[in-house]
Chain A
Amino acid sequence: ILNVEQSPQSLHVQEGDSTNFTCSFPSSNFYALHWYRWETAKSPEALFVMTLNGDEKKKGRISATLNTKEGYSYLYIKGSQPEDSATYLCAFGSYNTDKLIFGTGTRLQVFP
């Protein structure tokens, strides 16, 4: 059974704070790690897809790192804004399959 764990489950921060959360995944048969941003009642929005150990990707104030040897990825948000409030989902993809295994997400709330 493949497990993808995300921590923390939820996070409340003040506007302007920087924050980060973790995604842990199996280190064997790794193919790709996805991050999605999801607001309830909307569609999950792809943030990053990372495939190489040591990958770092950035999109505005959001960045992510990847360590495939130890099986974790960090997502960072610099200077959080209320519009960053959402659930952040990571998903693991392995070889020989197209399906993604999702974590349960980190729910972020940014207070003005």
Chain B
Amino acid sequence: GEEVAQTPKHLVRGEGQKAKLYCAPIKGHSYVFWYQQVLKNEFKFLISFQNENVFDETGMPKERFSAKCLPNSPCSLEIQATKLEDSAVYFCASSPLREGTNQPQHFGDGTRLSIL
């Protein structure tokens, strides 16, 4: 598609439940990025993929968070045993080229995760 598509738009989970978010990058884009936006406007980098390979996961919490980008499937970000502090908007972005930081990243509308 011509846009980054994130689903669902809003996800509500009880504390301790699992949450799974999806992202379909723009067709032809090899690079996918996940960001977490918690307070004010701070976008915190979580993980990046080159096709189905993890490229940089230095922002991912060591426990409970995992992500995948499998061929012919939307990418996913999964949070096990959610905590209140996981409440945030999770943005996915994609980029066409290898050197992602000198190309604009194309963002989806985000998934708002609310942990009750």
Contact = CB atoms under 8 A, between A and B. Distances in A.
B96 interface: no
B73 interface: no
Interface of A is mostly: strand
B105 A99 contact: no
Given A43-B4, A97-B56, A98-B56, A32 B42 contact: no
A25 B45 CA distance: 16
A12 to B, nearest CB: 17
Contacts of B43: 89, 91, 100, 102
Given A43-B110, A102-B42, A104-B42, A49 B48 contact: no
A52 B20 CA distance: 39
Given A42-B109, A43-B109, A104 B101 contact: no
Given A99-B58, A101-B45, 19 more contacts: A31-B101, A32-B101, A34-B101, A34-B105, A36-B107, A42-B109, A43-B91, A43-B109, A46-B105, A89-B41, A97-B56, A98-B31, A98-B55, A98-B100, A99-B45, A100-B105, A102-B35, A104-B41, A104-B42
Interface of A: 31-32, 34, 36, 38, 41-46, 49, 51, 87, 89, 91, 93-94, 97-105, 107
